[in-house]
Amino acid sequence: MTGFDETRRFKACVLIVSDSRSIGATEERVGPLLRDLLEPMAEIIKIDVVPDNMASITRALISMSLNLGADLILTSGGTGFSPRDVTPEATMMVSTKMAPGFAEEMRRVSTSITPHGMLSRAVSVIYEKTLIINMPGSPKAVRECFDAISPALPHAIETLRGESGSEPEDHRHRFDKGIVPDR
Protein backbone atom coordinates (compact mmCIF):
# COMPACT_ATOMS: atom_id res chain seq x y z
CA MET A 1 0.00 0.00 0.00
CA THR A 2 1.97 2.97 -1.25
CA GLY A 3 1.57 6.49 0.02
CA PHE A 4 0.03 5.46 3.35
CA ASP A 5 -0.11 8.25 5.93
CA GLU A 6 2.24 7.20 8.77
CA THR A 7 0.24 9.25 11.31
CA ARG A 8 -2.73 6.90 10.80
CA ARG A 9 -0.92 3.72 11.94
CA PHE A 10 -2.76 1.40 14.28
CA LYS A 11 -2.02 -1.70 16.39
CA ALA A 12 -2.76 -5.08 14.80
CA CYS A 13 -2.63 -8.72 15.84
CA VAL A 14 -2.83 -11.86 13.71
CA LEU A 15 -4.38 -15.05 15.03
CA ILE A 16 -3.82 -18.23 13.03
CA VAL A 17 -6.40 -20.93 13.80
CA SER A 18 -5.18 -24.40 12.86
CA ASP A 19 -4.77 -27.69 14.70
CA SER A 20 -1.81 -28.78 12.56
CA ARG A 21 -0.02 -25.43 12.61
CA SER A 22 -0.50 -25.04 16.36
CA ILE A 23 1.56 -28.20 16.98
CA GLY A 24 4.09 -27.44 14.24
CA ALA A 25 2.98 -30.29 11.97
CA THR A 26 2.65 -27.96 8.96
CA GLU A 27 4.45 -24.79 7.97
CA GLU A 28 2.75 -21.57 8.95
CA ARG A 29 2.87 -19.15 5.98
CA VAL A 30 -0.11 -16.87 6.53
CA GLY A 31 1.27 -15.08 9.62
CA PRO A 32 4.38 -13.78 7.81
CA LEU A 33 2.25 -12.84 4.79
CA LEU A 34 -0.21 -10.83 6.90
CA ARG A 35 2.72 -9.18 8.69
CA ASP A 36 4.08 -8.02 5.33
CA LEU A 37 0.66 -6.83 4.16
CA LEU A 38 -0.14 -4.97 7.39
CA GLU A 39 3.26 -3.37 8.07
CA PRO A 40 2.73 -0.30 5.86
CA MET A 41 -0.32 0.69 7.91
CA ALA A 42 0.02 -0.99 11.31
CA GLU A 43 2.33 -1.91 14.13
CA ILE A 44 2.12 -5.70 14.43
CA ILE A 45 2.03 -6.37 18.16
CA LYS A 46 1.47 -10.13 18.11
CA ILE A 47 1.14 -13.12 15.80
CA ASP A 48 -0.16 -16.24 17.52
CA VAL A 49 -1.27 -19.73 16.49
CA VAL A 50 -4.02 -21.61 18.32
CA PRO A 51 -5.83 -24.90 17.65
CA ASP A 52 -9.36 -25.10 16.20
CA ASN A 53 -10.93 -24.84 19.65
CA MET A 54 -13.60 -22.34 20.79
CA ALA A 55 -12.01 -21.65 24.17
CA SER A 56 -8.51 -21.11 22.71
CA ILE A 57 -9.80 -18.77 20.03
CA THR A 58 -12.03 -16.66 22.32
CA ARG A 59 -9.29 -16.44 24.97
CA ALA A 60 -6.78 -15.21 22.37
CA LEU A 61 -9.20 -12.66 20.87
CA ILE A 62 -10.07 -11.20 24.27
CA SER A 63 -6.42 -11.05 25.33
CA MET A 64 -5.30 -9.40 22.09
CA SER A 65 -8.03 -6.79 22.44
CA LEU A 66 -8.04 -6.03 26.15
CA ASN A 67 -4.48 -6.88 27.25
CA LEU A 68 -2.55 -5.83 24.15
CA GLY A 69 -4.81 -3.00 22.99
CA ALA A 70 -5.16 -4.22 19.41
CA ASP A 71 -7.19 -1.98 17.12
CA LEU A 72 -7.44 -4.79 14.57
CA ILE A 73 -7.27 -8.58 14.82
CA LEU A 74 -7.12 -10.61 11.63
CA THR A 75 -7.79 -14.30 12.10
CA SER A 76 -6.91 -16.87 9.45
CA GLY A 77 -8.37 -20.34 9.16
CA GLY A 78 -11.30 -22.23 10.60
CA THR A 79 -13.98 -20.54 8.50
CA GLY A 80 -15.02 -23.46 6.27
CA PHE A 81 -17.48 -26.32 6.60
CA SER A 82 -15.25 -28.82 8.42
CA PRO A 83 -16.59 -29.97 11.81
CA ARG A 84 -13.46 -28.46 13.47
CA ASP A 85 -13.95 -25.04 11.79
CA VAL A 86 -15.27 -22.88 14.63
CA THR A 87 -13.57 -19.51 14.14
CA PRO A 88 -16.77 -17.63 13.20
CA GLU A 89 -18.63 -19.03 16.19
CA ALA A 90 -15.79 -18.13 18.57
CA THR A 91 -15.60 -14.65 17.05
CA MET A 92 -19.34 -14.16 17.48
CA MET A 93 -19.04 -15.16 21.14
CA VAL A 94 -16.86 -12.10 21.84
CA SER A 95 -18.72 -9.74 19.50
CA THR A 96 -20.29 -6.58 20.89
CA LYS A 97 -21.31 -5.24 17.48
CA MET A 98 -21.54 -6.56 13.93
CA ALA A 99 -19.36 -5.14 11.12
CA PRO A 100 -20.52 -7.32 8.20
CA GLY A 101 -19.16 -5.28 5.29
CA PHE A 102 -15.63 -6.70 5.50
CA ALA A 103 -16.75 -10.35 5.41
CA GLU A 104 -19.30 -9.57 2.69
CA GLU A 105 -16.64 -7.94 0.50
CA MET A 106 -14.22 -10.83 1.00
CA ARG A 107 -16.94 -13.31 -0.02
CA ARG A 108 -17.80 -11.19 -3.07
CA VAL A 109 -14.18 -11.05 -4.20
CA SER A 110 -13.56 -14.74 -3.48
CA THR A 111 -16.70 -15.84 -5.32
CA SER A 112 -15.68 -13.78 -8.36
CA ILE A 113 -12.52 -15.94 -8.50
CA THR A 114 -14.01 -19.32 -7.56
CA PRO A 115 -17.50 -20.55 -6.67
CA HIS A 116 -15.91 -22.10 -3.57
CA GLY A 117 -15.81 -18.57 -2.14
CA MET A 118 -19.44 -19.20 -1.17
CA LEU A 119 -18.21 -21.77 1.35
CA SER A 120 -16.68 -19.10 3.57
CA ARG A 121 -18.46 -18.59 6.89
CA ALA A 122 -16.15 -15.71 7.87
CA VAL A 123 -17.54 -12.91 10.02
CA SER A 124 -16.33 -9.43 10.86
CA VAL A 125 -17.26 -7.89 14.18
CA ILE A 126 -16.34 -5.32 16.77
CA TYR A 127 -15.30 -6.33 20.29
CA GLU A 128 -15.10 -3.27 22.55
CA LYS A 129 -12.87 -1.01 20.37
CA THR A 130 -11.26 -3.77 18.31
CA LEU A 131 -12.23 -4.73 14.78
CA ILE A 132 -11.98 -8.52 14.29
CA ILE A 133 -12.03 -9.95 10.77
CA ASN A 134 -12.00 -13.67 9.94
CA MET A 135 -9.91 -14.32 6.84
CA PRO A 136 -9.39 -17.48 4.78
CA GLY A 137 -6.68 -20.01 5.61
CA SER A 138 -4.78 -20.14 2.31
CA PRO A 139 -2.09 -17.55 1.53
CA LYS A 140 -3.50 -16.91 -1.97
CA ALA A 141 -7.01 -16.23 -0.67
CA VAL A 142 -5.66 -14.13 2.21
CA ARG A 143 -3.80 -11.87 -0.23
CA GLU A 144 -6.88 -11.50 -2.48
CA CYS A 145 -9.15 -10.71 0.46
CA PHE A 146 -6.69 -8.35 2.14
CA ASP A 147 -6.31 -6.37 -1.09
CA ALA A 148 -10.11 -5.98 -1.18
CA ILE A 149 -10.58 -4.77 2.41
CA SER A 150 -7.35 -2.90 3.17
CA PRO A 151 -8.46 0.48 1.76
CA ALA A 152 -11.24 0.68 4.36
CA LEU A 153 -9.19 -0.44 7.39
CA PRO A 154 -7.62 2.91 8.43
CA HIS A 155 -10.96 4.75 8.37
CA ALA A 156 -12.68 1.89 10.24
CA ILE A 157 -10.03 2.03 12.98
CA GLU A 158 -10.20 5.82 13.22
CA THR A 159 -13.98 5.60 13.58
CA LEU A 160 -13.70 2.95 16.31
CA ARG A 161 -11.19 5.13 18.14
CA GLY A 162 -13.66 8.02 18.01
CA GLU A 163 -11.16 10.29 16.33
CA SER A 164 -12.94 13.40 15.17
CA GLY A 165 -12.52 14.67 11.66
CA SER A 166 -11.69 11.22 10.33
CA GLU A 167 -14.67 11.12 7.98
CA PRO A 168 -13.78 11.93 4.37
CA GLU A 169 -15.44 15.16 3.17
CA ASP A 170 -17.44 13.42 0.45
CA HIS A 171 -19.00 11.08 3.03
CA ARG A 172 -20.20 13.69 5.48
CA HIS A 173 -23.89 13.50 6.20
CA ARG A 174 -26.04 15.58 3.88
CA PHE A 175 -27.37 17.57 6.86
CA ASP A 176 -23.81 18.74 7.51
CA LYS A 177 -23.82 20.20 3.98
CA GLY A 178 -26.99 22.23 4.58
CA ILE A 179 -29.28 19.79 2.80
CA VAL A 180 -32.39 19.28 4.89
CA PRO A 181 -35.37 17.02 4.24
CA ASP A 182 -38.77 18.39 3.24
CA ARG A 183 -41.12 18.73 6.16
pTM for the model stands at 0.86
85: helix, strand or coil = coil
Residue 163: which pLDDT band, with cuts at 50, 70 and 90?
confident
Q: How far does Cα 165 stand from its chain's mean position?
A: 23
pLDDT for position 121: 98
pLDDT for position 31: 94
The mean pLDDT of 18-25, rounded to a whole number, is: 75
* Domain 6-161 homologous superfamily, CATH: MoaB/Mog-like domain (3.40.980.10)
101: helix, strand or coil = helix
The mean pLDDT of 123-132, rounded to a whole number, is: 97
Q: Please, what sign has the CA dihedral across residues 28, 86, 109, 61? A: negative
Q: Which amino acid is at 127?
A: Y
For 131-151, write each residue's pLDDT tens digit. Answer: 999 999 999 999 999 999 999
Q: Which residues pair with 17 in a beta bridge?
A: 50
Sequence spans of domains, the chain: 6-161
